[in-house]
Amino acid sequence: MPLLTLDNVRTYYEIRKGLFSKPLYVKAVDGVTLSLEKGSTLALVGESGCGKTTLGKTVLRLLEPISGKIIFDGKDITHEPEEKLKWFRRKAQMIFQDPYSSIDPMHTIKYNLEEPLIIHKIGEDEEERYDKICKALEVVKLTPPEDFIPKYPHMLSGGQRQRVNIARALILDPEFIVADEPVTMLDASVRVEILMLLKEIRERKKISFIYVTHDVATAKYFSQRIAIMYAGKIVEIGPFRDVISNPKHPYTQALIEVVPDPDPNNRFTERKTVPGEPPNLVVPPSGCRFHPRCPYAMDICKKSEPKLIEIDQGRVVACHLLSKK
Protein backbone atom coordinates (compact mmCIF):
# COMPACT_ATOMS: atom_id res chain seq x y z
CA MET A 1 0.00 0.00 0.00
CA PRO A 2 1.41 3.45 -0.91
CA LEU A 3 2.21 5.82 1.93
CA LEU A 4 0.47 8.70 0.12
CA THR A 5 -2.23 8.73 -2.54
CA LEU A 6 -3.79 11.75 -4.23
CA ASP A 7 -6.98 11.23 -6.23
CA ASN A 8 -8.14 14.06 -8.50
CA VAL A 9 -7.11 16.75 -5.99
CA ARG A 10 -8.05 20.37 -6.69
CA THR A 11 -6.92 23.45 -4.76
CA TYR A 12 -8.17 26.87 -5.89
CA TYR A 13 -7.41 30.36 -4.56
CA GLU A 14 -10.40 32.68 -4.50
CA ILE A 15 -9.41 36.11 -5.83
CA ARG A 16 -12.87 37.64 -6.19
CA LYS A 17 -16.02 36.90 -4.19
CA GLY A 18 -19.32 36.59 -5.97
CA LEU A 19 -21.89 38.83 -4.26
CA PHE A 20 -22.84 40.74 -7.45
CA SER A 21 -20.58 38.97 -9.93
CA LYS A 22 -19.24 35.53 -10.64
CA PRO A 23 -16.44 34.52 -8.24
CA LEU A 24 -12.97 34.06 -9.71
CA TYR A 25 -10.46 31.40 -8.73
CA VAL A 26 -6.82 30.70 -9.50
CA LYS A 27 -6.83 26.99 -10.38
CA ALA A 28 -3.40 26.32 -8.88
CA VAL A 29 -3.88 22.55 -8.52
CA ASP A 30 -6.51 21.18 -10.88
CA GLY A 31 -7.13 17.44 -10.80
CA VAL A 32 -3.83 15.88 -9.64
CA THR A 33 -3.60 12.11 -9.17
CA LEU A 34 -0.39 10.42 -7.99
CA SER A 35 1.01 8.11 -5.32
CA LEU A 36 4.19 7.80 -3.27
CA GLU A 37 5.61 4.55 -1.93
CA LYS A 38 7.16 4.26 1.51
CA GLY A 39 10.85 5.19 1.57
CA SER A 40 10.86 6.59 -1.98
CA THR A 41 11.37 10.08 -3.44
CA LEU A 42 9.25 11.78 -6.09
CA ALA A 43 10.60 14.91 -7.80
CA LEU A 44 7.83 17.38 -8.66
CA VAL A 45 9.20 19.51 -11.51
CA GLY A 46 7.82 22.45 -13.49
CA GLU A 47 8.09 26.16 -14.24
CA SER A 48 7.54 28.80 -11.57
CA GLY A 49 3.82 29.31 -11.05
CA CYS A 50 2.76 25.84 -12.20
CA GLY A 51 1.33 24.91 -8.78
CA LYS A 52 4.17 22.80 -7.33
CA THR A 53 4.37 24.53 -3.95
CA THR A 54 0.57 24.70 -3.66
CA LEU A 55 0.41 20.96 -4.27
CA GLY A 56 3.10 20.37 -1.62
CA LYS A 57 1.17 22.45 0.93
CA THR A 58 -2.07 20.70 0.01
CA VAL A 59 -0.48 17.28 0.55
CA LEU A 60 0.52 18.42 4.06
CA ARG A 61 -2.96 19.90 4.63
CA LEU A 62 -1.51 23.38 5.11
CA LEU A 63 -4.12 24.13 2.45
CA GLU A 64 -7.43 22.28 2.20
CA PRO A 65 -8.41 21.06 -1.27
CA ILE A 66 -11.83 21.91 -2.67
CA SER A 67 -12.27 18.38 -4.03
CA GLY A 68 -10.53 15.05 -4.45
CA LYS A 69 -8.97 12.79 -1.83
CA ILE A 70 -5.70 12.72 0.11
CA ILE A 71 -4.99 9.32 1.67
CA PHE A 72 -2.02 9.09 4.03
CA ASP A 73 -1.04 5.71 5.47
CA GLY A 74 -4.52 4.39 4.71
CA LYS A 75 -6.37 7.30 6.35
CA ASP A 76 -8.41 9.94 4.53
CA ILE A 77 -7.14 13.36 5.71
CA THR A 78 -8.72 15.44 2.94
CA HIS A 79 -11.14 17.40 5.12
CA GLU A 80 -10.09 16.35 8.61
CA PRO A 81 -10.38 19.29 11.06
CA GLU A 82 -7.08 20.66 12.30
CA GLU A 83 -7.60 19.46 15.88
CA LYS A 84 -7.70 15.86 14.61
CA LEU A 85 -4.50 16.13 12.55
CA LYS A 86 -1.93 16.25 15.36
CA TRP A 87 -0.86 12.65 14.62
CA PHE A 88 -0.32 13.61 10.98
CA ARG A 89 1.68 16.75 11.88
CA ARG A 90 4.15 14.51 13.68
CA LYS A 91 4.49 12.10 10.74
CA ALA A 92 4.67 14.69 7.94
CA GLN A 93 6.97 17.72 7.77
CA MET A 94 8.07 20.41 5.32
CA ILE A 95 11.42 21.96 4.45
CA PHE A 96 10.63 25.45 3.20
CA GLN A 97 12.35 27.17 0.32
CA ASP A 98 13.55 30.32 2.06
CA PRO A 99 15.94 29.67 4.96
CA TYR A 100 15.82 33.35 5.91
CA SER A 101 12.08 33.67 6.57
CA SER A 102 11.16 30.16 7.72
CA ILE A 103 13.00 30.36 11.06
CA ASP A 104 11.77 32.71 13.82
CA PRO A 105 14.46 35.45 13.91
CA MET A 106 13.48 36.54 17.42
CA HIS A 107 14.49 33.26 19.04
CA THR A 108 17.57 31.08 19.32
CA ILE A 109 18.18 27.89 17.36
CA LYS A 110 17.42 25.96 20.57
CA TYR A 111 13.98 27.56 20.84
CA ASN A 112 13.20 26.95 17.15
CA LEU A 113 14.06 23.27 17.47
CA GLU A 114 12.55 22.72 20.91
CA GLU A 115 9.15 24.18 20.08
CA PRO A 116 7.84 21.17 18.07
CA LEU A 117 9.04 18.83 20.84
CA ILE A 118 7.05 20.80 23.42
CA ILE A 119 3.93 20.90 21.20
CA HIS A 120 4.00 17.13 20.72
CA LYS A 121 5.01 16.44 24.33
CA ILE A 122 8.24 14.68 23.39
CA GLY A 123 10.86 14.44 26.12
CA GLU A 124 10.32 14.06 29.85
CA ASP A 125 12.21 17.24 30.70
CA GLU A 126 14.35 20.01 29.21
CA GLU A 127 17.50 17.90 29.45
CA GLU A 128 16.02 15.13 27.32
CA ARG A 129 14.79 17.66 24.75
CA TYR A 130 18.26 19.23 24.71
CA ASP A 131 19.76 15.82 23.86
CA LYS A 132 17.33 15.40 20.96
CA ILE A 133 18.21 18.88 19.66
CA CYS A 134 21.92 18.01 19.77
CA LYS A 135 21.33 14.76 17.88
CA ALA A 136 19.26 16.55 15.22
CA LEU A 137 22.02 19.12 14.67
CA GLU A 138 24.61 16.36 14.43
CA VAL A 139 22.53 14.59 11.76
CA VAL A 140 22.62 17.73 9.58
CA LYS A 141 26.35 18.15 10.30
CA LEU A 142 26.15 21.30 12.41
CA THR A 143 28.86 20.29 14.86
CA PRO A 144 29.62 20.71 17.62
CA PRO A 145 25.91 21.39 18.32
CA GLU A 146 26.75 23.36 21.47
CA ASP A 147 28.19 26.09 19.22
CA PHE A 148 24.90 26.53 17.32
CA ILE A 149 22.24 26.01 19.99
CA PRO A 150 22.58 29.48 21.63
CA LYS A 151 22.88 31.39 18.33
CA TYR A 152 20.20 33.42 16.58
CA PRO A 153 19.34 32.86 12.88
CA HIS A 154 21.04 36.10 11.74
CA MET A 155 24.34 34.71 13.05
CA LEU A 156 24.25 31.78 10.57
CA SER A 157 24.97 31.54 6.85
CA GLY A 158 22.25 30.58 4.36
CA GLY A 159 23.50 27.01 4.19
CA GLN A 160 23.58 26.71 7.98
CA ARG A 161 20.05 28.08 8.27
CA GLN A 162 18.80 25.54 5.77
CA ARG A 163 20.47 22.79 7.79
CA VAL A 164 18.58 24.07 10.82
CA ASN A 165 15.38 23.88 8.74
CA ILE A 166 16.20 20.27 7.90
CA ALA A 167 16.96 19.51 11.56
CA ARG A 168 13.59 20.96 12.56
CA ALA A 169 11.84 18.78 9.98
CA LEU A 170 13.67 15.69 11.27
CA ILE A 171 13.38 16.25 14.99
CA LEU A 172 9.95 14.59 15.24
CA ASP A 173 11.18 11.49 13.34
CA PRO A 174 8.69 11.91 10.46
CA GLU A 175 7.80 9.31 7.84
CA PHE A 176 7.24 11.87 5.08
CA ILE A 177 8.78 15.23 4.11
CA VAL A 178 7.92 17.76 1.42
CA ALA A 179 11.15 19.55 0.45
CA ASP A 180 10.09 22.76 -1.33
CA GLU A 181 13.08 23.83 -3.46
CA PRO A 182 15.42 23.44 -0.47
CA VAL A 183 18.56 24.47 -2.38
CA THR A 184 17.24 27.24 -4.65
CA MET A 185 18.46 30.11 -2.43
CA LEU A 186 21.83 28.55 -1.61
CA ASP A 187 25.22 29.01 -3.24
CA ALA A 188 26.04 26.53 -5.99
CA SER A 189 28.87 25.10 -3.91
CA VAL A 190 26.42 24.22 -1.11
CA ARG A 191 23.56 22.80 -3.20
CA VAL A 192 24.95 19.35 -3.95
CA GLU A 193 26.15 19.02 -0.36
CA ILE A 194 22.62 19.65 0.97
CA LEU A 195 21.10 17.25 -1.58
CA MET A 196 23.57 14.54 -0.66
CA LEU A 197 22.69 15.15 3.00
CA LEU A 198 18.98 14.70 2.27
CA LYS A 199 19.71 11.54 0.26
CA GLU A 200 21.77 10.13 3.13
CA ILE A 201 18.96 10.91 5.60
CA ARG A 202 16.36 9.30 3.33
CA GLU A 203 18.37 6.10 3.00
CA ARG A 204 19.23 5.89 6.70
CA LYS A 205 15.81 6.77 8.14
CA LYS A 206 13.65 5.38 5.26
CA ILE A 207 11.78 8.68 4.93
CA SER A 208 9.54 9.32 1.91
CA PHE A 209 10.10 12.65 0.11
CA ILE A 210 8.34 14.86 -2.40
CA TYR A 211 11.12 17.05 -3.76
CA VAL A 212 9.68 20.22 -5.31
CA THR A 213 11.93 21.96 -7.83
CA HIS A 214 12.08 23.72 -11.18
CA ASP A 215 15.61 22.43 -11.76
CA VAL A 216 15.79 19.01 -13.40
CA ALA A 217 19.57 19.00 -12.92
CA THR A 218 19.33 18.96 -9.09
CA ALA A 219 16.50 16.42 -9.04
CA LYS A 220 18.76 13.71 -10.47
CA TYR A 221 20.85 13.66 -7.29
CA PHE A 222 17.95 12.80 -5.08
CA SER A 223 14.91 11.31 -6.81
CA GLN A 224 13.82 7.88 -8.02
CA ARG A 225 10.66 9.03 -9.81
CA ILE A 226 9.68 12.31 -11.43
CA ALA A 227 6.34 14.04 -12.03
CA ILE A 228 6.20 16.93 -14.53
CA MET A 229 3.64 19.61 -13.65
CA TYR A 230 2.28 22.27 -15.99
CA ALA A 231 -0.44 24.84 -15.24
CA GLY A 232 -1.87 22.94 -12.27
CA LYS A 233 -1.84 19.50 -13.90
CA ILE A 234 0.51 16.51 -14.03
CA VAL A 235 1.50 15.83 -17.65
CA GLU A 236 4.04 13.01 -17.20
CA ILE A 237 5.12 10.64 -14.42
CA GLY A 238 7.67 7.85 -14.46
CA PRO A 239 11.01 6.50 -13.28
CA PHE A 240 13.52 9.36 -13.27
CA ARG A 241 16.04 7.85 -15.69
CA ASP A 242 13.34 6.76 -18.16
CA VAL A 243 11.70 10.19 -18.27
CA ILE A 244 14.99 12.07 -18.60
CA SER A 245 16.48 9.78 -21.25
CA ASN A 246 13.27 9.47 -23.28
CA PRO A 247 10.76 12.26 -22.49
CA LYS A 248 7.39 11.78 -24.16
CA HIS A 249 5.43 14.94 -23.41
CA PRO A 250 6.49 18.04 -25.44
CA TYR A 251 6.71 20.09 -22.23
CA THR A 252 9.00 17.52 -20.60
CA GLN A 253 11.16 17.58 -23.74
CA ALA A 254 11.37 21.38 -23.52
CA LEU A 255 12.38 21.31 -19.84
CA ILE A 256 15.17 18.82 -20.48
CA GLU A 257 16.38 20.72 -23.55
CA VAL A 258 17.30 23.75 -21.44
CA VAL A 259 19.24 21.84 -18.76
CA PRO A 260 22.81 23.25 -18.78
CA ASP A 261 25.32 21.05 -20.62
CA PRO A 262 28.72 20.74 -18.89
CA ASP A 263 30.46 19.83 -22.17
CA PRO A 264 32.65 22.86 -23.12
CA ASN A 265 32.34 21.93 -26.80
CA ASN A 266 28.65 22.84 -26.64
CA ARG A 267 29.06 26.21 -24.93
CA PHE A 268 28.06 28.12 -28.07
CA THR A 269 25.14 25.85 -28.93
CA GLU A 270 21.88 27.77 -28.91
CA ARG A 271 19.23 25.95 -26.92
CA LYS A 272 15.58 25.93 -27.89
CA THR A 273 13.18 27.36 -25.35
CA VAL A 274 9.42 27.05 -25.15
CA PRO A 275 7.78 30.08 -26.81
CA GLY A 276 5.28 32.20 -24.95
CA GLU A 277 4.42 32.39 -21.26
CA PRO A 278 2.63 30.06 -18.84
CA PRO A 279 -1.16 30.46 -19.07
CA ASN A 280 -3.41 32.49 -16.82
CA LEU A 281 -4.72 29.97 -14.28
CA VAL A 282 -7.82 32.06 -13.64
CA VAL A 283 -8.93 31.35 -17.22
CA PRO A 284 -6.76 28.45 -18.40
CA PRO A 285 -6.75 27.41 -22.09
CA SER A 286 -9.36 24.95 -23.27
CA GLY A 287 -8.30 21.40 -24.05
CA CYS A 288 -4.63 20.72 -23.36
CA ARG A 289 -3.24 23.61 -21.33
CA PHE A 290 0.09 23.38 -23.14
CA HIS A 291 -1.35 23.64 -26.66
CA PRO A 292 -0.79 27.45 -27.12
CA ARG A 293 2.97 26.83 -26.70
CA CYS A 294 3.25 23.33 -28.16
CA PRO A 295 5.03 22.92 -31.53
CA TYR A 296 3.00 19.75 -32.21
CA ALA A 297 -0.47 21.07 -31.32
CA MET A 298 -3.39 19.61 -33.28
CA ASP A 299 -7.05 20.61 -33.47
CA ILE A 300 -7.99 18.04 -30.85
CA CYS A 301 -5.51 19.62 -28.42
CA LYS A 302 -7.54 22.84 -28.44
CA LYS A 303 -10.85 21.08 -27.77
CA SER A 304 -10.21 18.04 -25.61
CA GLU A 305 -8.15 17.70 -22.43
CA PRO A 306 -5.82 14.68 -22.69
CA LYS A 307 -5.99 12.05 -19.98
CA LEU A 308 -3.03 10.37 -18.34
CA ILE A 309 -2.46 7.10 -20.18
CA GLU A 310 -0.01 4.35 -19.25
CA ILE A 311 2.59 3.87 -21.99
CA ASP A 312 4.83 1.56 -19.99
CA GLN A 313 4.91 0.01 -16.54
CA GLY A 314 4.93 2.91 -14.06
CA ARG A 315 5.05 5.50 -16.87
CA VAL A 316 2.03 7.69 -17.66
CA VAL A 317 1.71 10.68 -20.01
CA ALA A 318 -1.14 13.10 -20.86
CA CYS A 319 -0.73 13.91 -24.56
CA HIS A 320 -2.92 13.44 -27.63
CA LEU A 321 0.18 12.66 -29.71
CA LEU A 322 0.54 9.37 -27.84
CA SER A 323 -3.16 8.49 -27.95
CA LYS A 324 -3.00 8.83 -31.77
CA LYS A 325 -0.27 6.18 -32.03
281-308 pLDDT, tens digit per residue, is 999 999 999 999 999 999 999 999 999 9
111-158 pLDDT, tens digit per residue, is 999 999 999 999 888 999 999 999 999 988 899 999 999 999 999 988
Least confident span in 14-23, 59-68, 128-137: 14-23
* Cα–Cα dist 258/271, whole Å: 6
Domain boundaries, the chain: 4-305+317-323
Q: How far is CA 126 from CA 108, 121, 146, in A?
A: 15, 11, 15
Which of 89 and 277 is assigned the larger pLDDT?
A: 89
pLDDT at 267: 65
Choices 3.30.830.10, 3.40.640.10, 3.40.50.300, 3.30.390.30: CATH for 4-305+317-323 = 3.40.50.300
Q: Where are the alpha helices (DSSP H) in the chain?
A: 52-59, 86-91, 109-119, 126-139, 145-148, 158-170, 188-205, 216-219, 240-245, 250-257, 299-303, 320-323
Residue 190 has pLDDT above 80, yes or no: no
pLDDT at 116: 94
H or E element at residue 205: helix 188-205
* Cα–Cα dist 112/106, whole Å: 10
Q: Which of 84, 83, 142 is nearest to 113 (CA)?
A: 142
What would the mean pLDDT of 25-48 be, rounded to a whole number? 93
Cβ contact 245:254 at 8 Å: no
50-59 pLDDT, tens digit per residue, is 999 999 999 9
pLDDT at 196: 83
* Cα–Cα dist 171/178, whole Å: 15
Evaluate if pTM is beyond 0.75.
Answer: yes
Amino acid at 2: P
CA angle at 99 for the pair 97 and 102, rounded to the nearest 5° = 85
* Cα–Cα dist 212/259, whole Å: 17
Amino acid at 154: H
256-284 pLDDT, tens digit per residue, is 887 766 666 766 666 677 788 889 999 99
